[in-house]
Amino acid sequence: MQATKKQTKMIQWMCVTAILTAANVVMSSFSIPVPGGHLYLNDVVICTAAILLDPLAAFFVGGVGAFLGDLLFYPLPMFVSLASHGLEAVAISLIARYLFPRKWYGAALGVTVGAVIMVTGYSLGRAFVYATPATAWIKLPFEILQAGVGAVSGVVLCFPCGLAKRFDRMLPALAAPQKHKGDTDAVPVIAEEVGAPSAPGEDERGDTHSPWIGGDR
């Protein structure tokens, strides 16, 4: 029984991660022309996925998805994308999923930190890896715009639009950890374990450990 639940969780984790990674690749393939440059929208996928998923899955969606998108369409910055978007997604997930689980202000803090990481990573990469410092300064406003659009969209989709609640209800095995009211040890408990009845002979608390199997674009 326990093995079946773990297998189901793994299959769900792999499917969701693969779908969102593919979405990031697709969103990396085109941009919206804006005065003086281009706006990429793949940060919307990255921020949303990082709020919903664990850090390992978030890294796959953000870092690996951006890497594959660059590899297919514009290979020069692909390693910068892997590092910048990967670290961005991990930071968002850690803050939004574990520090303030399923709280809008936790997600807002997470995407703010993630935006700083992304903008800094791309600016340094463009300045010293695949372009010049002058180009990095010219492109900086577009990086900030991309990060801002992604951050705001991710929070709005997950909370005012209710995506986080729907995700947890449809895929409880992948839901964000929850803390028992009054807990002082801050040990996260997976939502499926909180809501599931205990099997005969099973410890009523269940397993309180939440393993990480999951967690230029």
Q: Is 179 within a domain? A: no
Distance CA 151, CA 1 (A): 40
| Residue 34 DSSP label | E
Q: Is 86 within a domain? A: yes
- CATH assignment of the domain containing 154: 1.10.1760.20
Structural domain for 56, as ranges: 2-170
Q: Is 209 within a domain? A: no
Number of domains present in the structure of the chain: 1
Distance CA 43, CA 118 (A): 10
Tell me the pLDDT of the chain (217 aa) as tens digits: 566 888 999 999 999 999 999 999 999 888 898 887 889 999 999 999 999 999 999 999 999 999 999 999 889 999 999 999 999 999 999 999 999 999 999 999 999 999 999 999 999 999 999 999 999 999 999 999 999 999 999 999 999 999 999 999 999 999 988 765 554 433 343 334 334 444 444 444 444 444 344 435 6
